[in-house]
Structure 1
Amino acid sequence: MTKPQHRADLFLDPAADPREGGPSLGDERATLAEFLRYQRLTLQLKCEGLDAEQLARRSVEPSTMSLLGLLRHMAEVERTWFRRRFAGNDVPKRYQTEDEPDADFDGAVADQAVVDEAWAAWREEVSFAEQFARDTDLSFLGDDGDGNPISLRELLVHMIEEYARHNGHADLLRERIDGRLGQ
């Protein structure tokens, strides 16, 4: 039987944690931006230091969930909400199509070119979203995808929830790959 690991032994050194040091006691915009920044960095940390095979490794059958799939999925989510629904950009989805609605996960294969493209896509979409959120009033209304209005404020809260939920998945995926526990 394998000896259980101690959680405290596997956390990042607080001095090396890029999530620390953000604003505290900020106004509403700063608070929302910081909580979302923290969640985005958490996903990044869960994926760091892994090779293409590890990133593409599926959780358990029949699931197609992998860390690479989560990264691709979040690039798609960022693009859909910020570029398409809020900025009104007429851009195609990155991965999903009518014929392949799960292509963000299904296409997450152990190929370094796929990994590199996923990181580039995610960083590009996060950069766009951060700039949009900085430059736009929190009361700005976008479309929820079903024709209902949603404010930028609500979208930022939704994105925090979306990342937090998937970061829970990422914790379990990472632990299964190399034993690294969540934080």
Structure 2
Amino acid sequence: MPRRAELFGGEDDRRFRNPTTGDERTVLAGVLAAQRATLEAKCAGLAAELAERSVPPSTLSLLGLVRHLADIERRWFRQVLANEDAPPRYSSTTTPDGDFDGATADPAVAAEAWAAWREEVAFAEAMTAAAPDLSVTGEDSWRGTVSLRWMLIHMIEEYARHNGHADLLRERIDGAVGV
């Protein structure tokens, strides 16, 4: 049996084709794109299983992660950086865990979550590409003034942490590792 480290990547894996040299925007955007692609890979080939919970009483699921990350992308890029009035899609003050609690095995729920996530990722990528530089700032009620540079680093960290959760969830669902 191969070691876990031998199960990752391969020449065809787009997660490992991001630039390792170049300007700061290119490298950061590439690393973030790889993290986003990892989330997709962890969820690939699953349907109702996306909503399977990790271990009671946790509500953590792969579908919950997709919904959560759609809200996170929306928060930082639309609300903070673009200063749009864009409330979260899944969470609110009355349902703060709506991203995870509402992640059900309904195929329509999964399809909507993926569409929302892809829409938010496309917005973030376009905003990142169009920004004059990484020093562009936005105002956040939690962190104060934040730059696009900080936001990209924060998003890489956010995805990396949740992709670790996704590794464990996927292995629990069907034994798949290295996806």
TM-score bracket for the superposition, by shorter chain length:
over 0.9
Q: Tell me whether 1:32 sits opposite 2:44 in the alignment.
A: no
Secondary structure, counterpart of 2:146 in structure 1: strand
Q: Which runs of 4+ in 1 moved over 4 A?
A: none
Taking only aligned residues, the RMSD between alpha carbons, in angstroms, comes to 1.7
CA displacement 1:76-103 (0-9 Å, x = unmatched): 0000100011101112210111110100
Q: Tell me the residue number matched to 1:117.
A: 112
CA displacement 1:56-83 (0-9 Å, x = unmatched): 0000011000000000000000001000
Candidates 132, 157, 161, aligned match of 2:157: 161
Q: Which runs of 5+ in 1 are unaligned?
A: none
Q: Tell me the residue number matched to 2:43.
A: 47
Is the contact between residue 36 and residue 160 of structure 1 (CA under 8 Å) also seen in structure 2?
yes
Is the contact between residue 7 and residue 181 of structure 1 (CA under 8 Å) also seen in structure 2?
no
Q: Tell me the residue number matched to 2:76.
A: 81
TM score, norm. by length of structure 2: 0.93
Change (3 A) 1:20 1:144: same
Count of aligned residue pairs for this structure pair = 178
CA displacement 1:116-158 (0-9 Å, x = unmatched): 0000000000000000011112001112332610111011000
Is the contact between residue 18 and residue 27 of structure 2 (CA under 8 Å) also seen in structure 1?
no
Q: Distance in 2 between matches of 1:94 and 1:60?
A: 25
Candidates 142, 145, 159, aligned match of 2:141: 145
Name the % identity: 57
CA displacement 1:12-62 (0-9 Å, x = unmatched): 56133121322221110111001100100000100000012x100000011
Change (3 A) 1:160 1:116: same
Q: Which amino acid aligns with 1:174?
A: R
Q: Which runs of 5+ in 2 are unaligned?
A: none
Secondary structure, counterpart of 2:22 in structure 1: coil
Q: Distance in 2 between matches of 1:110 and 1:34?
A: 32
Q: Which amino acid aligns with 1:21?
A: R
Q: Tell me the residue number matched to 1:178.
A: 174
